[in-house]
Amino acid sequence: MTATDIGAAGSPILTQEGRARFEEDGFTVVRKLFGYDEIDRLCAEFAALHAAGPVPGHFEPRTVPPGAPEDPLAAYPRVMQPHEINPVALRLLLDPRLRGVLETLFGEEVLAAQSMFYFKPPGARGQALHQDNFYLRVEPGTCVAAWVACDVIGRDNGGLEIVPGTHRMDIFCPEEADAEVSFAREYVPPPPGLATVPVDMEPGDVLFFNGSLVHGSEPNRTEDRFRRSFIGHYVGRSAERIGGYYRTLTMDAERVPLPESEGGGPCGTEFAPPGPH
């Protein structure tokens, strides 16, 4: 993993080592790309959104019926496409610091395709190993994720794990995940000879990774620590098709519709909520 150099104008510039790491392993980490104050404001915005209650199509908490297993994600589900309902999320998705790194990685202009915010409260399930482009279905090429840490994130509270080198492989046909430990259905086991590597992060760090890279997370096993994160997905301007769920924007917030590719859907197909025992 590597960080960036910061240019005289304050804009992040990937080092040659950072870009080489992305090409070789499928990911790179930019340390302290965002300040603690920026992350605090972002988290306060989503705390207010949570307190305000449901937003159909974006944030849909639910009540656990009597007799059903406890599920912290019922009260704290992920927020889907928050940039469409919140100006702070939109600014972060289109932030010029992200744009600078992404255009270096893509080698061309980029389009924003999706945003998500994960609360991942104590006791919450993780997301089984998967590949993002299984859902986005970018053609030709793939997507790149910018995964912004909003808390101190490690193995105990369900930090990301990645399988380096899988970005050079095709999209796998996933197996069904274990619903006891994953909220999403799809599971891609590490290919033979490869293993997961944990990525520990601090607030404001950003993990950039290729859409074919196998990655996921374990449950949050702490009793009192959230694992909040903001994620943006991006595609190169040369992309010709994308899954119908994704509504691409230029980094100047202009809508650029792309023809729909077959298959795909929201990033992570969720299991149906368990009923009473």
Q: Is residue 272 in a domain?
A: no
Domain for residue 274, yes or no?
A: no
pLDDT interval class at 5 (50, 70, 90): very low
Residues contacting 174, CB < 8 A, separation 6+: 130, 134, 185, 186, 187, 188
Let me know if residue 261 belongs to a domain. Answer: no
Tally of domains within the chain: 1
Report pTM.
0.92
CB 164 within 8 A of CB 190: no
pLDDT computed for residue 1 by the predictor: 37
Task: Summarize the confidence of residues 205-209 as an average pLDDT.
Answer: 97
266 belongs to a structural domain: no
Q: How confident is the model at residue 275, as a pLDDT?
A: 52
What distances in angstroms separate CA 179 from CA 62, 127, 161, 270, one per listed residue? 18, 10, 18, 9
- Does residue 242 sit within a domain? yes
**Structure token digits, residue 121:** 């409260």
Examine residue 263 and state whether it is found in any structural domain, yes or no: no
Position 257 in a domain: no
Contact 150/228 with Cβ under 8 angstroms?
yes
Residue range(s) defining the domain that contains residue 109: 4-60+69-250
Average pLDDT of the chain to the nearest whole number: 92
165 domain residue, yes or no: yes
Q: Give 39-60 pLDDT, tens digit per residue.
A: 999 999 999 999 999 999 999 9
In this prediction, residues 228-232 reach a mean pLDDT of 98
CATH number for the domain harbouring residue 188: 2.60.120.620
